[in-house]
Structure 1
């Protein structure tokens, strides 16, 4: 039977979390160590029985703790989150996609599973599985199950086109995801199919969303506003609200990961918004990204100086922090910038905009001031 609870280190803390649920409990270190020392063939300590009942309404009294609790061991690596592109392939061809070419390629299943084991050993508790479209990958289901069994809280980023499949829904029921994040590309068939450049995409989206909602999946919508669907922004929001699904709105298009400008043509100029000030991030230090070939980078954007995880193993991650610090330096066209202290994009993203020869107003304060 799959575990229902996970006790795990998380950075300098310890958590008790439940797959399929967003809430969790902060564990004192002494309680975490007590669970580590607890024999799996014994019932849980009284404090845990009460805490689990109060937090989730889950009755574990009298049950053997090993039947429902997975205990993650401490890691010396200090990572807590990661994202993984299982495949860049996709059944859509969205005009705004930052990935560029949708290439169906990647590692064999054995290497995928090896990378997941390394992620778990590195301390990753929250893992985002993305693509491309992850559910079209032939190894998605065994990879998802393996990540779940390793004790990761899983987020799936998807276009929902295959969420109606019974095998997927049965797997999600047995191994609940932490979250299913669905990208939304329009509120009508015409705009949706136009942006995705796939006839019938809207019908698959609705079919998948109907099935996912009926199954009670923990959904969150990413409302993508582009030149094709800008007139439907409010209609997309209203559809999310009618469904009772949380949503975030994304309006600023970015260049491709190769520095290509083709994705920027989807930008709705009226919806280009000033980003918040970039104050730093944990990329490369407590977070990392893995591409379909097992190449690790500090994040999805900063992909320079990648580490070959299948070849180097977990030891390769020792270089990631230094790589992150170097990539974040203001270099190239940003050297000596007088506004760098209040810049709204990180250096790796600015580099992509510069490579794409994007207008300064789409990412830089200097261009925004001239436009104003």
Structure 2
């Protein structure tokens, strides 16, 4: 299996190593050299061997280029990242979940392979596999292995409850992920099980995290704050820090992507934070999102005008740019607003809040309140 990946990335070229966040930028002429060497009996060139030694402490001197370096071909569409809900089903039932209904349903194996091939051929170098809980999907391991072999840097978003399983630890040992992002829902059994609505969730989380840390997986923790665990924010952060891991704190819940407001009912008003001004993003331009059925949207939130890649194939992605431009326009309930130039959320997210009839303070400057916490 390859030790390095050399790939186009946006308007340049990168050398990356699975399991590492370090990247090495390459000029076009060195990328072209590697394309030629990877198709011959040549060894890894000295310039790449030196870069690998410096960046990753990896010795690839005198190794065959073909078996050591996977060279990704240029892609006409030039997307760089994608996220994929392999399945919406989850073994937790979190009160704040934005997915709404979470059935155990999705593509069969052949169509999963077809979708992964489209990710590859559209230029995707970084792929996030998410859910639901992705590790419960019957094809998770096969899909992960196949995407890895196509030369993608893989992030897995998980609740950690299954990270102790030998087959998952073996998978991540043999084929290192770029990152494993874990959601944390409390610092005690009482609050964790209450928010996830699953007895034993805290114990499963602890077991999975212990195994993942022991396996030295590249972990990052997302601390989710709601009314059930707001009293444990400091305790959660302290626990993560004691593990020597990075973390982010998430306080503002959002409605389900279909516009249901239930997740907003559990957010902690004490910890609501004012979002920074939205200054645009590249949703639908350099990245996209795929749901369990191969329906693609510009992102996880803006799911209007989905494209069925199982029917249209990679050519369907050519329409994403126009869809993005249309969805990002400040229309609908925000048309004519004098504050539209300093909105704190994008148009698709504002639409979801409006459909859920959410209080303005959750997403709009017109609802600003003194009691909100400033970042």
Q: Please, what TM-score do these two structures have when normalized by structure 2? A: 0.98
- Contact preservation (8 Å) 1:40, 1:64: no
- Match of residue 315 from structure 2: 315
d(CA) in 2 for partners of 1:316 and 1:67? 33
- Match of residue 324 from structure 2: 324
Question: Any idea what SS the aligned residue of 1:326 has?
Answer: helix
1:41 to partner: Cα distance: 2.1
Question: Any idea what SS the aligned residue of 1:221 has?
Answer: strand
Distance 1:370 1:63, change over 3 A: closer
| Aligned counterparts, 1:84-123, within 5 A | 84-123=84-123
- Match of residue 193 from structure 2: 193
1:369 to partner: Cα distance: 5.5
- Match of residue 243 from structure 2: 243
Per-residue Cα deviation, 1:57-113 (whole angstroms, up to 9, x for no partner): 111111111121100000010200000000000000000000011111111011011
Unaligned runs of 5+ in 1: none
Please report the RMSD computed on the Cα atoms of aligned residues, expressed in angstroms: 1.0
1:227 to partner: Cα distance: 0.4
d(CA) in 2 for partners of 1:308 and 1:223? 33
- Match of residue 81 from structure 1: 81
Number of residue pairs aligned between Structure 1 and Structure 2: 371
1:40 to partner: Cα distance: 4.0
- Match of residue 5 from structure 1: 4
Question: Any idea what SS the aligned residue of 2:182 has?
Answer: strand
| Aligned counterparts, 1:89-168, within 5 A | 89-168=89-168
d(CA) in 1 for partners of 2:31 and 2:344? 39
- Match of residue 349 from structure 2: 349
d(CA) in 2 for partners of 1:303 and 1:250? 22
- Match of residue 361 from structure 1: 361
d(CA) in 2 for partners of 1:321 and 1:13? 20
d(CA) in 2 for partners of 1:52 and 1:121? 26
d(CA) in 1 for partners of 2:40 and 2:189? 53
- Match of residue 292 from structure 1: 292
1:371 to partner: Cα distance: 7.3
- Match of residue 14 from structure 1: 13
- Contact preservation (8 Å) 1:90, 1:133: yes
- Match of residue 34 from structure 1: 33
- Contact preservation (8 Å) 1:40, 1:67: no
d(CA) in 2 for partners of 1:51 and 1:318? 36
Distance 1:34 1:209, change over 3 A: same
- Contact preservation (8 Å) 1:83, 1:127: yes
- Match of residue 218 from structure 1: 218
- Match of residue 257 from structure 2: 257
- Match of residue 54 from structure 1: 54
d(CA) in 2 for partners of 1:104 and 1:239? 33
d(CA) in 2 for partners of 1:112 and 1:206? 31
Question: Any idea what SS the aligned residue of 1:299 has?
Answer: coil
1:45 to partner: Cα distance: 1.2
1:368 to partner: Cα distance: 0.9
Unaligned runs of 5+ in 2: none
Moved more, 272-281 or 31-40: 31-40
Question: Any idea what SS the aligned residue of 1:157 has?
Answer: strand
1:350 to partner: Cα distance: 0.3
- Contact preservation (8 Å) 1:87, 1:132: yes
d(CA) in 2 for partners of 1:145 and 1:24? 22
Q: Please, what TM-score do these two structures have when normalized by structure 1? A: 0.98
d(CA) in 1 for partners of 2:88 and 2:28? 40
